[in-house]
Amino acid sequence: MGRPVFSHPRGRIMVALDTGDIAGAIQLVELLQGRVGPFKVGMELSEAMLTGLVAADTYDAAVDHLNLVRKLFQLLDGNFWRDWKGHDIPNTLKGAALQIVRTRPRMLNVHASAGKLAMELVVANRGATDILAVTVLTTLTKNDCDVVFGQPAAPEVLELALFAADAGVQGLICSAEEVSSLRTMDRLKDLYLVVPGTRSVGVSAHDQQRVGTPRQAVEDGADYLVIGRQITEAKEESGGPLGAVEKLVEELSA
């Protein structure tokens, strides 16, 4: 276990495949493969894999759908983070994790708030997959945190991070706002930090609440940056997804 070493800033960029369009996800992976780090397979995409099969109205349509799913995983070739966000009773999470790791994800995440035993069971059955613990979602507002946790995000993130470290996870998911404080904790020094919700200057934050720039997050100690719409929705006149990636690489290289 330990923090990753990057030979180039582009390895830090994790492109979020937040779409229900499997063919579109394949096109994006084909376009960006080798130019970014791991891809994120989120809930929308993983659900589309099942519902597309169930909803197929002919045998041929079902076969075509399965071939798309198979092609996507062949392209990913284990270089993906399965953004599972598991949060259930320990035995259920253990059983589900055993199924997910069969797809050979590089990373798999579980909510730290699912509890220490749940995290320990997922870690114990991870195979070669790194387990990440979600601290506090980057979309939660101050009011959300007050109601859900009874305190602001920052102290809650720290408590959950230390809790997850005791359970043996390999990494943590937090916002850019908490990176620097987590990096000061000796107990967390070997865990890598995955940071969603970063935005370059001038890019809309959309539904994200606790955000920062990619460059600042890395300078504060982030290892991976999860970036979706800034790349996937980039306009063709400005270079499209590929152009957005190269601009991010330039920003991180500065």
User: Which tens digits make up the pLDDT trace of 66-121?
Assistant: 999 999 999 999 999 999 999 999 999 999 999 999 999 999 999 999 999 999 99
DSSP 224: E
| Cα–Cα distance for residue pair 33/104, rounded to 1 Å | 17
pLDDT of residue 7: 86
Whether the model pTM is above 0.75: yes
Q: In total, how many domains does the chain have?
A: 2
My answer on whether 104 and 195 are in the same domain is yes
The catalytic residues are 85
pLDDT, mean over the chain: 93
Cβ count within 10 A of residue 186: 6
Above pLDDT 90, what percent of the chain? 80
Range of the domain at 41: 16-75
Tokens of 222: 């982030």
66 lies in the same domain as 85:
no
Is there a single domain that holds both residue 125 and residue 173? yes
pLDDT at 207 over 60: no
Same domain, 203 and 236: yes
Tokens of 119: 């995290």
5 domain-assigned: no
Distance, CA of 177 to CA of 199 (rounded, Å): 12
Q: What is the pLDDT of residues 156-196, one digit of tens each?
A: 999 999 999 999 999 999 999 999 999 999 999 999 999 99
With tokens 């492109």, the residue in question is 15
Tell how many helices (H) and how many strands (E) occur in the chain: 11, 8
Per the domain annotation, does 11 fall within a domain?
A: no
Residues 136 and 28 in one domain: no
Q: Would you say residue 195 lies in a domain?
A: yes
Identity of the residue numbered 34: G
Note whether 102 and 152 are same-domain residues. yes
